[in-house]
Chains A and B, each alone.
Chain A
């Protein structure tokens, strides 16, 4: 009994110390960044290592809204992200299902082609992409940003991997009930893939939210600018006001943090579901 208690205590100790260690490692630079966002411009240089400013400059956050139309950038980013995530989820789920569950000639070859698309560095296809958008008449529109980010090979790959894990028996039972491909996909596979869909949503959101290169070249007018472009402008000259940049970073990422935290419960729901299968 005693040795069991010690072992339990030991593993709990290990668990907690690892968790707390990595939490601290993640937190320390971020705490410094948050502290910097509350410093004066001068204090950024004068007391670079201080975590806590001499005087909390909450006005920095208001100053961003005075410096750039931050609210407009925010709305644009939300719009682009929402549509791009929606389309990525729909198109990736469909392709992922085809690759994981349907048999068709050339399946593995096409899949490798899709993976290959993930390998292309965006810097290289920037100009060809720009020309495509010009021909479509979509330069300086949010649609251009949505379209370039609505099709992501990684999404196909991710969902394919997860759909492999869904027990075939469930689908076979559905075939008995006369379900076609569409209904099996919608009512059997998708509900079971919730953790994977949530994961893909988070990853896509991150990609689109922090997207920089495409907005940089596609967008011209202030009304269509996104948050990352706003951040770039805040660092636009040799005299960079890092306190404002950090405040803008904090503002820009907080929605992502809130979304991530509120979606965490889906990972737990996943456990309950997989417990029922045999």
Chain B
């Protein structure tokens, strides 16, 4: 009968043993001579992570007081991971937050204001492109330093344009120019313009150019059911119905756009700095980037977006975290230069030597510097981000799919969700 006891004790012993085997990471004792270790959370793929590691290494070489331990995941799961950790009462000291989530994070006091730190250390903020800083402010207070301030460009496939005998437009092109060019490009087998409806950012430029927007000035009222926005959406649906936009645009992802673009199936698309990289990976791809078409007296129609590097409001290592952020994103830190060398994104500061590193005049898109600066000065516009942005977006996107495919008119679709969207804004 001994065997019975064995049967029940063995699994429990093995369980306990395994617990001891793996359990580690006992709480570190604070020691004034030891360097402070901070956790720094960000998203990225191996290349992007490599850049971050280089910067962390450089930071370790630069000083001895602070050690940085990276917390990484892929973008798709990053914010869920971060939110779980924060909700569970832990979380990194320094974190990157996508500006889509920024207002919600701030509304919940997740980030520490840094105005006092900026003032204490006399950090010169004038060199930052203004839009990046603005996206790091909430109700007039600065909560972080900008990371990857960049436009969503219009990509132009030069081969397709030449083949169809269409001239590359000037920066001051408007919606009519866009429509004419897109229709010319779509004659025959190809399409003019590739779009994907994963975010509202892909249709807002056209709504902006037509004088509409997602919300009113105060960002408190949903306005996509007003005539300017509705007209722009119906116009896009018309282009889709006429075969100017590919059928698959309705559920396409960014990769599909890159695929169509480099194969000459579409002549134009919207794309980010990261998509410049994937397009460049295709041998012989000849393309340019520029701003989105403008409207009547409305130049700023190109989405210009940034992200936030901030300090966890519950962190007890504020000084160490701030030292690292200054190195990573500050005007005197080495971070920006290392980012530029990796060519993954355009400069956050208006500084010529950074552009010199980032933009290679022999590599397409050759006009990236010129176009980016024009967008920063004149053609760029921030998304009307606010608390509940993602929830409103999740109401709008399905309707955009319906509008584009012709299942429903823009007015009907937008009126249908207006009350729900407004309820989110009023909450």
- Chains A, B in direct contact (C-beta < 8 Å): yes
What residues of chain A have their CB less than 8 Å away from a CB belonging to chain B?
A: 40-43, 45-46, 48, 67-68, 83, 86-87, 90-91, 94, 126-127, 130-131, 134, 137-143, 146-147, 150, 180-183, 185-186, 212, 216-217, 220-222, 229, 232-242
The segment from B117-125, B186-194, B272-280 found at the interface with A is: B272-280
Partner of A238, one of B1, B80, B262, B272: B272
Q: Does B108 contact A (CB under 8 A)?
A: no
User: Do B46 and A216 have beta carbons less than 8 Å apart?
Assistant: no
- Find out whether the CB atom of B263 lies under 8 angstroms from the CB atom of A46: yes
- Find out whether the CB atom of A233 lies under 8 angstroms from the CB atom of B76: no
**Residue on A with the closest CB to B20?**
A143
- Whether A134 lies near B24 (C-beta < 8 A) is no
Chain B residues, Cβ within 8 Å of A222: 70, 72
Question: How many angstroms between the C-alpha atoms of A257 and B31 in the bound complex?
Answer: 50
Interface residues of B in 40-82 (CB under 8 A from A): 43-49, 69-77, 80-81
* A127, B255: Cβ atoms closer than 8 Å: no
B23 at the interface (CB under 8 A from A): yes
Asked whether, in the complex, the Cβ of A217 is within 8 Å of the Cβ of B275, the reply is no
B92 to A, closest residue via Cβ:
A220
Residue pairs across A and B with CB atoms within 8 Å: the count is 154
Q: How far is the CA of A130 from the CA of B71 in the complex (A)?
A: 16
- Which residues in B have their C-beta under 8 angstroms from that of A237? 43-45, 47-48, 74-75, 274
Mark interface residues in B1-36 (1 if CB within 8 Å of A CB, else 0).
101101100010011001101111100000000000
Q: A233-B74, A238-B274 are in contact. Are A217 and B45 (CB under 8 A)?
A: no
Residues of B within 8 A of A46 (CB): 262-263, 282-283
Beyond A234-B46, A239-B275, A241-B45, is A141–B85 a contact (Cβ under 8 Å)?
no
Given A182-B3, A234-B46, CB of A45 within 8 Å of CB of B278: yes
- 15 further A-B pairs in the complex, CB-CB below 8 A; given A87-B11, A130-B88, A232-B74: A41-B278, A45-B263, A45-B281, A48-B259, A67-B47, A127-B87, A130-B85, A134-B88, A141-B25, A143-B19, A143-B21, A143-B23, A236-B49, A238-B272, A240-B45
Return chain B residues, CB-CB under 8 Å to A131.
88-89
* With known contacts A216-B80, A233-B74, A238–B254 Cβ distance under 8 A: yes
Contacts of B301 in A (CB 8 A): none
Q: Does B39 contact A (CB under 8 A)?
A: yes
* Given contact pairs A143-B23, A237-B48, A240-B45, A126 touches B84 in the complex (Cβ within 8 A): yes
A186 touches B84 (CB 8 A): no
- Report Cα–Cα, A129/B356, bound state, in Å: 49
Question: How many Å lie between the Cα of A21 and that of B53 in the bound state?
Answer: 49
Dominant secondary structure of chain A at its interface with chain B: helix
- With a cutoff of 8 Å between Cβ atoms, the chain B residues found around residue A139 in the complex are 25, 90
In the bound complex, residues from chain A placing their C-beta under 8 Å from that of B23 are 137-138, 141, 143
- List 24 contacting pairs A-B, 8 Å CB cutoff, sorted by A: A41-B281, A42-B285, A45-B259, A45-B263, A45-B278, A45-B281, A86-B14, A90-B11, A130-B84, A134-B90, A137-B25, A139-B90, A141-B25, A182-B7, A183-B3, A183-B4, A216-B77, A216-B81, A229-B73, A236-B48, A236-B76, A238-B272, A240-B278, A242-B255
Complex alpha-carbon distance, A139 and B258, angstroms: 39
Residues 274-298 of B, flagged 1 when their CB comes within 8 A of A and 0 if not, give 1101110111010000000000000
- The reply to whether B24 and A141 form a contact with Cβ atoms under 8 Å apart is yes
Q: B282, A233: Cβ atoms under 8 Å?
A: no
CA distance in complex: A120, B69 (Å):
34
Report if A221-B80 is in contact (Cβ < 8 Å); known contacts: A67-B46, A241-B45.
no
Q: Which residues of A contact B22 (CB under 8 A)?
A: 141-143, 146
| Given contact pairs A126-B84, A229-B73, A233-B72, A240 touches B255 in the complex (Cβ within 8 A) | yes
Of chain A, the residue at the smallest CB distance from B1 is A180
Q: Mark B372-412, 1 if CB is under 8 A from A, else 0.
A: 00000000000000000000000000000000000000000
